[in-house]
Amino acid sequence: MNKVALAVAAAIALSVPSFAAKAADMPPPVLHAPPVPYVELGSNWYLRGDFTYRTFDVAGTDGPEDAAGLGIGVGYQFASWLRGDVTLDYQFSSRFSALDAPIVANTKLWSSSLFANGYVDLGTWWGITPYVGAGVGSAYNYLANEGRWNFGWAVMAGAAYNLSPNLAVDFGYRYADLGSAVALNGSLLDVTTHEFKVGFRYKLD
């Protein structure tokens, strides 16, 4: 019995150096880092472009003729119901008639604005998403060879129809207070507008 035990002990003693040598020759274990989570960049950003038909309320006059305008902007979808954008709008010239008040007769009005806007989307039914919103910014009115920068604000409402997951057509109304314009006699005329917009919003991937 003792001889057997001695034989087993000797075999173990002889195998330990061999196993240690093999272990020393083995490469170190490879540690795999966890996968980096996928982040979809740009998926909440969108571009927009609008065509505007504008009518005016100008204090002290019958108002200039209706005018057309164009707008561009960039926005971000913060949540399924909340988004915001920055828009730049340019209005083509609008003429006051010869029968209008002497302080603006036969003159033209140009106006442009840069607004930061916020919108609340009110849910989607059959691809249509109604919304309400408001904006603030700066407006520039040019009348009678003199321009003037103003604080401006607006409220809006409308609805968008999803043509695809990335493209929507937008129909909207905006009431905007564009500040004042300088008349021929140097007085200030308040300029407010009613605007009807048709445009597109394209969501970036």
Strands (E), 59-166: 67-79, 82-95, 108-121, 128-143, 146-162
Average pLDDT of the segment spanning 68-87: 97
Who has greater pLDDT, 144 or 18? 144
How do residues 92-136 score in pLDDT, each as one tens digit?
A: 999 998 888 899 999 999 999 999 999 999 999 999 999 999 999
- What pLDDT was estimated at residue 60? 81
- Taking residues 13-18, what's their average pLDDT? 54
Mean pLDDT of the chain: 86
What contacts 155, CB < 8 A, 6 or more positions away? 132, 133, 134, 135, 174, 175
**Would you place residue 5 in the very low, low, confident or very high pLDDT band (cuts 50, 70, 90)?**
low
3-state secondary structure 23-83: HHHCCCCCCCCCCCCCCCCCCCEEEEEEEEEEEEEECCCCCCCCEEEEEEEEEEEEECCEE
Per-residue pLDDT band at 9 (split at 50, 70, 90): low
Q: In the prediction, which pLDDT does 12 show? A: 57
For domain 48-203, the CATH class is: mainly beta
Query: Is residue 144 helix, strand or coil?
Result: coil
- The pTM is what? 0.77
pLDDT at residue 33 in the model: 56
Which of the four pLDDT bands, split at 50, 70 and 90, describes residue 17?
low
Average pLDDT over residues 183-192: 93
Task: Tell me the domain boundaries of the chain.
Answer: 48-203
Stronger pLDDT, 77 or 42, i.e. the higher one: 77
